[in-house]
Structure 1
Amino acid sequence: MNQAIIMIIYIVAIVVMMYFLAIRPQRKQQKEQEMLLESMAVGDAVLTTSGFYGTIVSIFEDDVIVEFGGNKNCRITVQKKAIAQVEKTDNSEN
């Protein structure tokens, strides 16, 4: 009986450690990414997950139109979740 209680304590301790080492940091990172995506505005410089740098031209519910390079004709619709970094510019709308 005593060994069973010790085994249960070990299992509970392992589950608590996994929560604090794996699940909690991942949730924090997801929350930061969501805040980043919500703070995007037209004119912000972005980096996509595929490594392309561009400027936001238009924002929709789940997608954004990003202009790549200096060519005004190179505009691509990208999902919001494909944005890795956002750099605010002085002329961005709030």
Structure 2
Amino acid sequence: MNLLAMGPTASTAGGLGIMILYIAVFGGFMYFIAVRPQKKEQRRLATMLSNLENGDSVLTSSGFYGVVIDISDDTVIVEFGNNKNCRIPMQKSAITQVEKPDAE
């Protein structure tokens, strides 16, 4: 009778350990698939925006190409097109790509 009482508790403890192992493996998998690449991309964007200078060509999140005219803390003024009168202030976070002008 005593052996029957020990059987289910021993298998329950083993099943609980395996379940915790599966959860840990799944958590590690999710970290390397979802969280780590996102943090890497955020670091890349932060570095790109910190190196932003006047005269750089930029691509905005809305798909417009322009040239940076002025930079303040969290906003930039971007000039669009050949018109030279189309200058729009926008947040730095709206910039997705930066191209430095050629040094030639």
Give the alignment's TM-score, normalised by structure 2. Answer: 0.85
Question: Using the alignment, how far apart are the partners of 2:51 and 2:67 within structure 1?
Answer: 14
Paired residues, what number? 91
Alignment partner of 1:60 out of 51, 69, 72: 72
User: 2:80 is matched by which residue type in structure 1?
Assistant: F
Partner of 2:47: 35
**SS across alignment from 2:37:** helix
Normalized per residue, the structure richer in helix is: 2
Partner of 1:75: 87
Q: Which runs of 5+ in 2 are unaligned?
A: 1-12
Q: Which runs of 4+ in 1 moved over 3 A?
A: none
What is the CA distance between 1:72 and its match in structure 2?
1.4
What is the CA distance between 1:71 and its match in structure 2?
1.0
Higher RCO, 1 or 2 (CA under 8 Å, sep at least 6)?
A: 1
**SS across alignment from 1:71:** coil
Deviations 1:29-84 (A, max 9, x none): 00000001011100000000000000000000000000001111110001000001
What is the CA distance between 1:5 and its match in structure 2?
0.4
User: 2:72 is matched by which residue type in structure 1?
Assistant: F
Alignment partner of 1:5 out of 1, 4, 17: 17
Q: Which runs of 5+ in 1 are unaligned?
A: none
User: Which one has a bigger Cα radius of gyration?
Assistant: 2
Over the residues paired in the alignment, what is the CA RMSD in angstroms? 0.9
Question: Using the alignment, how far apart are the partners of 2:56 and 2:43 within structure 1?
Answer: 20
Q: State yes or no: 1:18 paired with 2:30.
A: yes
User: 2:38 is matched by which residue type in structure 1?
Assistant: Q
